[in-house]
Amino acid sequence: MSEAPNFRDGLCRPALSIQARQLLSTVCIRGGLTCPLMPHEEAQPFLDRIRRDPTAAIRLLSDADEVVHHTQGTDDETQPHRVSLSVPEVAVPVPPAVLNRQRDLDVLQRLGLMPGDTRRARWLYELLFERIDSPARICAYDTPGWEGCPNATSGVYERVREQGWQAMVHARTREEMDESRRQSAQRIAVGDRIFMRPHHVMCLACWYAGGEGKGLRPNDTLSEILERIRREPTVPLTLIEGTCEACYCCDGFDTATTRCTHGGGLIRDYKKDLDVFRKLGLAPGATMPARDYIRLLFDRVPSTRDVCGYGDGIVRSGEWRICGDPQGNPGYAKTRETGMP
């Protein structure tokens, strides 16, 4: 058994870092505007990268928690220590750095993230377009002195948003996914083994549901894998971490990097794999006949609650959502009773 190789551009080594407010800037720039919050020489390399790589890890920055205590004193324009006992007759323009901190925190709050959080490009733009429908009241405000960017009400952001995340980030074509399915199905049908994530056999059992699951699945090749196992119960399964044979035709699978672009890279699935390995007393690289693995899985993992529900059925964030019923997927229970003949 060998240790799985690691990429060197994981979520803790982001490929790209931008101020949180600039996430909106990239949308306006993609729509043809010149944004005062993000220079062209910064924006273009960023946009080029996510256009070809939907898996690029993006870290969102803000200096909000670097503001010094008032007793420290500073000449920084962002920390004016003026004392006034009256309301000014004319609005005082807010220092740009203060307005930018407001923008950063508005974006982060709406996204449910914190300064320094890192997410992969596709998921981040899906989240952005789901939760922020306009740059108004973020890039510009109604308060005198806080007017901000004149482009905030141009409608450009909204027009790009209507096109979906695909307007910003590379998306697989139907033709590409169909070709990937053909290639994967060929490997599954004639290969001397099948490489699988251990928890994907649980997904297969949930879908099969004691015989109710039929036909091709639209976003993976689990049905083709089931057909091979039913035809050849002793076909070897080599259990791996990370994306596997079932993933190739998925809309979230990036062929250039072999990474997953869904839901923060579906980091929860890495935990599911390791939980299954631990419960079965196995390690990545373990290989055994499919029939033996399925028997071992059903013996030691009686419910999806134990793996997909993290043992307690509690959803703690969107990235750690539970697939199926938090109390246990009934399809898995049915297949566990009937097997996969």
pLDDT value, residue 8: 73
**Do residue 145 and residue 20 come from a single domain?**
yes
- Evaluate if residue 73 carries a pLDDT over 70: no
Query: 117 pLDDT band (50/70/90 cuts)?
Result: very high
Last residue of a domain, one of 167, 196, 230: 167
pLDDT value, residue 1: 39
pLDDT value, residue 144: 87
Residue 241, domain extent: 174-338
**Do residue 54 and residue 182 come from a single domain?**
no
| Low-confidence winner among 62-71, 210-219, 252-261 (lowest mean pLDDT) | 62-71
Q: What is the pLDDT of residues 167-208, one digit of tens each?
A: 999 999 999 999 999 999 999 999 999 999 999 999 999 999
pLDDT value, residue 46: 98
Residues with Cβ < 8 Å from 299, sequence gap 6 or more?
A: none
Q: What is the pLDDT of residues 12-27, one digit of tens each?
A: 889 999 999 999 999 9
**Do residue 111 and residue 226 come from a single domain?**
no
How many folded domains does the chain comprise? 2
- Evaluate if residue 119 carries a pLDDT over 70: yes
8 found inside a domain: no
**Do residue 298 and residue 235 come from a single domain?**
yes
Helix/strand/coil (H/E/C) assignment for every residue in 311-325 = CCCCCCCHHHCCCCC
Query: 83 pLDDT band (50/70/90 cuts)?
Result: low
Average pLDDT, the chain: 91
What angle, 0 to 180 degrees and rounded to 10, lies between the N-to-C axes of helices 40-52 and 22-30?
80
User: Which one-letter DSSP state was computed for residue 166?
Assistant: G
Last residue of a domain, one of 139, 167, 195: 167
Average pLDDT of span 308-313: 95
Nearest partner of 248 among 174, 173, 175, 177, judged by Cα: 177
- Evaluate if residue 11 carries a pLDDT over 90: no
**Do residue 332 and residue 190 come from a single domain?**
yes
Terminus-to-terminus CA distance in the chain, angstroms?
29
**Encoding tokens for residue 202?**
């649980």
**Do residue 222 and residue 122 come from a single domain?**
no
Last residue of a domain, one of 142, 167, 192: 167
Query: Residue 61, SS3?
Result: strand
Task: Name the β-bridge partners of 59.
Answer: 17, 118
- Residue 269: what residue type? D
**Do residue 24 and residue 137 come from a single domain?**
yes
Predicted TM-score (pTM) of this structure: 0.88
- Evaluate if residue 93 carries a pLDDT over 90: no
**Do residue 323 and residue 206 come from a single domain?**
yes
